[in-house]
C-alpha cells in the first residue's frame, strides 16, 4: 500500500535561495514592518496582477472582513450572509456588534442564493456579506440589484477567489469591498496574510489608517483602528510567491481535468464544471455524495480515504449556523437552510494543489470508484 500522506492542500513556497537573498536585504535595511519597501511593492504588484484599482495588505484574511464593515461605517443592524463558509465570515459580523442573518445557498454554486435574499431583508438590514465559495463567482449582478433596491452595502468575502475573473474583469471589483486571504492553505499565500480590495483612493487611505491603529500621521488618530499590518518578511515572501502562482494554478487545473475525466458520470457523485467566461483558480475541488445513488455515505467515503492516508476535508461542515454562538439565531434553523444543510452533509473537498502527481490523483480516484 502506498502510505504517502496526501493532504487537502500544500502551500506554494517561494524558492528558498531567493528568499534567503531577500531576507539579507531586509536584515541589512533593518526595516522589518510598518509600510516598508516590500509592503509597498507587494501592494503594487498584487493590484496589477489581480486587475484591481486599489488594494491594502493585511496580516490575515479575517481582519479585512472586520475592517471592511468599519470602513463602511456600519455600526448597527443586520448583515445577510451565508452559513456555508469558514466561520471567520460570520465572526467578522459578530465582532462589529452586528447581527448575522443566514440565507440559504444555491446548490449549483454553493453561494448565497440571490432569490432568497430579499425575503430576509428587514428595516434593520444594513449589508450583505456573500462568499465566493471555492472561488466560484456569486451572482454579483443579482446581488447588486437587490442591494441597490434596498440601499445596502455589499462586502464580498473573496478569501477563495484570488485571481478569479469574469469576462476578463476581476471578480474582486464587485460590490463595495472585497477581502482576500493569503493563508498557507490558499492558492496564493504569504504564510498568514490577506487584503482588502477597494475601488477608490480615498477608501484606500481610510483603510490604511484603520489597519494602523487609526493613525493619520504622527500626532493624529482619526478612528479607533486596529493593528493588522503585514510585515516586511511576509511581504517579501509574497513578492516571490507571486512569480510562481500562474504555474501553480496551471498545475491545479491539470489535476481538476484528471478528476473530472475520471469522476464525471459516476452514479451518486456530483462535480462542478468550469463556468463559461470565468477564469477559475482551482483553489478547491469539492465533490458531493448522494449516498442512495453512490451506495456509501459521505462520511463513510471520507473515513475510507482517511484510513488510506488521503485527507480530503469536509469544507464546510458543520454549517456556521450550527455553531454555539450562532445556533439560536432566528435564521439558523435547518428548515430555513435546507440546501446548505444537505450540501454540508454531501461535500468532500478532494486534495487539490500544485504538487499532486498523476499517480497521486490515480490513487485518490481508486479510493472513490
Ligand atoms: N473567509 C473564508 C471564506 C475562509 O475560507 C477563510 C479561511 C477566512 C475568511 C479567513 O482567512 P484567514 O484569517 O484564515 O486568512 C484552514 C485555514 O486556516 C483557513 O485560512 C481557511 N479559510 C480554512 C478554509 O481552512 P484548517 O483548519 O482546515 O487548516 P489545517 O491547518 O487543517 O490545514 C489543512 C491542510 O493544509 C493540512 O492538512 C495540510 C495543509 N497545510 C496546512 C498548513 C497550515 C500545510 O501543508 N501547511 C501548513 O502550514 O483551516
pLDDT digits (tens, 9 = 90+) for 120-173: 999 999 999 999 999 999 999 999 999 999 999 999 999 999 999 999 999 999
Closest atom of ligand 1 relative to the 191 alpha carbon:
49
Percent of the chain scoring above 90 in pLDDT: 99
**86, 135, 155, best to mutate for ligand 1 pocket (most atoms within 8 Å of CB):** 86
Band (pLDDT 50/70/90 cuts) for residue 359 is very high
Instruction: Report whether pLDDT(313) > 60.
Output: yes
pLDDT of residue 176: 98
Q: How many CB atoms lie within 10 A of CB 220?
A: 9
pTM exceeding 0.85:
yes
Ligand 1 atom 27, closest CA: 185
Residue 219 Cα to ligand 1 midpoint, Å, equals 38
Instruction: Report whether pLDDT(203) > 60.
Output: yes
**185, 193, 230, 354, best to mutate for ligand 1 pocket (most atoms within 8 Å of CB):** 185
Ligand 1 atom 50, closest CA: 185
Residue 218 Cα to ligand 1 midpoint, Å, equals 36
Q: What is the mean pLDDT of residues 174-189?
A: 98
pLDDT of residue 237: 98
Residues near 16 by beta carbon (within 8 Å), at least 6 away in sequence: none
Distance CA 119, CA 129 (A): 16
Closest atom of ligand 1 relative to the 315 alpha carbon:
24
pLDDT of residue 3: 80
The CA radius of gyration of the chain, in Å to the nearest whole number, is 21
From the list 309, 303, 282, the residue with the least C-alpha distance to 348 is: 303
Q: Which residues line ligand 1 (CB under 6 A)?
A: 7-11, 60-62, 85-86, 88-89, 131, 157, 159-160, 181, 183-185, 194, 311, 313, 315
Residue 185 Cα to ligand 1 midpoint, Å, equals 5
Output the CA angle 209-212-214, nearest 5 degrees: 50
The 10s digit of each residue's pLDDT in 76-127 is 999 999 999 999 999 999 999 999 999 999 999 999 999 999 999 999 999 9
Amino acid at each position: 500500500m502506498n502510505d504517502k500522506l496526501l493532504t487537502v492542500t500544500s502551500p506554494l513556497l517561494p524558492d528558498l535561495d531567493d528568499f534567503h537573498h531577500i531576507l539579507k536585504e531586509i536584515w541589512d535595511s533593518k526595516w522589518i514592518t510598518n509600510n516598508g519597501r516590500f509592503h509597498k511593492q507587494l501592494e503594487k504588484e498584487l493590484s496589477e496582477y489581480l486587475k484591481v484599482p486599489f488594494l491594502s495588505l493585511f496580516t490575515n484574511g479575517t481582519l479585512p472582513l472586520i475592517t471592511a464593515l468599519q470602513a463602511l461605517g456600519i455600526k448597527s443592524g443586520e448583515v445577510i450572509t451565508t452559513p456555508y463558509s469558514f466561520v471567520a465570515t460570520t465572526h467578522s459580523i459578530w465582532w462589529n456588534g452586528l447581527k448575522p442573518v443566514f440565507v440559504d445557498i444555491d446548490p449549483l454554486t454553493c453561494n448565497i442564493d440571490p432569490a432568497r435574499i430579499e425575503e430576509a431583508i428587514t428595516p434593520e438590514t444594513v449589508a450583505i456579506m456573500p462568499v465566493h465559495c471555492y472561488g466560484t463567482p456569486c451572482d454579483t449582478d443579482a446581488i447588486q440589484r437587490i442591494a441597490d433596491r434596498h440601499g445596502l452595502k455589499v462586502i464580498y468575502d473573496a478569501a477563495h477567489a484570488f485571481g478569479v475573473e469574469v469576462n476578463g474583469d476581476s471578480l474582486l471589483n464587485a460590490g463595495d469591498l472585497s477581502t482576500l486571504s493569503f493563508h498557507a492553505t490558499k492558492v496564493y499565500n504569504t504564510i498568514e496574510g490577506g487584503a482588502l480590495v477597494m475601488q477608490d483612493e480615498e477608501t484606500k487611505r481610510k483603510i490604511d489608517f484603520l489597519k494602523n491603529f487609526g493613525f493619520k500621521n504622527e500626532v493624529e488618530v482619526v478612528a479607533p483602528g486596529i493593528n493588522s499590518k503585514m510585515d516586511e518578511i511576509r511581504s517579501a515572501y509574497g513578492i516571490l510567491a507571486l512569480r510562481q502562482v500562474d504555474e501553480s494554478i496551471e498545475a491545479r487545473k491539470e489535476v481538476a481535468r484528471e478528476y473530472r475525466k475520471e469522476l464525471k458520470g459516476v452514479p451518486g457523485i456530483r462535480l462542478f464544471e468550469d463556468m463559461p467566461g470565468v477564469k477559475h483558480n482551482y483553489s478547491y475541488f469539492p465533490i458531493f455524495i448522494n449516498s442512495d445513488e453512490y451506495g456509501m455515505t459521505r462520511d463513510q467515503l471520507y473515513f475510507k480515504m482517511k484510513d488510506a492516508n488521503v485527507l480530503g476535508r469536509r469544507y464546510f461542515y458543520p454549517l456556521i449556523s450550527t455553531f454555539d454562538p450562532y445556533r439560536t439565531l432566528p435564521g439558523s434553523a435547518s428548515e430555513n437552510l435546507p440546501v446548505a444543510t444537505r450540501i454540508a452533509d454531501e461535500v468532500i473537498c478532494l486534495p487539490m494543489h500544485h504538487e499532486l502527481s498523476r499517480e497521486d490523483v490515480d490513487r485518490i480516484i481508486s479510493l472513490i470508484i
